[in-house]
Amino acid sequence: MATEAFEEIAETFDFLDDWEDRYRHVIELGRAMPSMEEALKTPFTKVDGCASQVWIQPALDGDGPDARFDFKGDSDAMIVRGLIAVLHALYSGLTVQQVAKVDALAELGRLGLDEHLSSQRSNGLRAMIVRIQSVAAQSAGQ
């Protein structure tokens, strides 16, 4: 259950043979992502469990399980900003009910990220996924 934006990333990854090219692409995705306002970078939006500084600010359009999910995110590390951009492509625009059903690790596995990230980055990525799914589940009333 991936979004069209995520499918585009997956297609690009299929086209890029070399992991270094894929790594650069993730960084470019992070550079293209709008920066998060400094006022939103608070302890409330900070994601624990990441080696880098990471902030995620959810934004919902509507109420209940049919509310549309979106978020702003930022990091002080470019590769992590890129991972946030990948997660944004994976989740943005889904209903909060759909967000809870996404198997993020399987979808990200299609990109080969699980094989090429350090254990610290992988743990941080999982922490971001847990935060996103937790917000969505709370908003869906689950």
Q: Which residues are catalytic?
A: 50
Q: Is 112 helix (H, G, I), strand (E, B) or coil?
A: coil
Q: By CB neighbour count within 10 A (0-12 exposed, 13-18 middle, 19+ buried), where does 126 fall?
A: middle
Rounded CA-CA distance 89/44 in Å is 23
Rounded CA-CA distance 97/142 in Å is 9
Around Cβ 115, how many Cβ atoms within 10 Å?
A: 9
- Pairing between strand 54-61 and 68-75? antiparallel
The DSSP code for 35 is: P
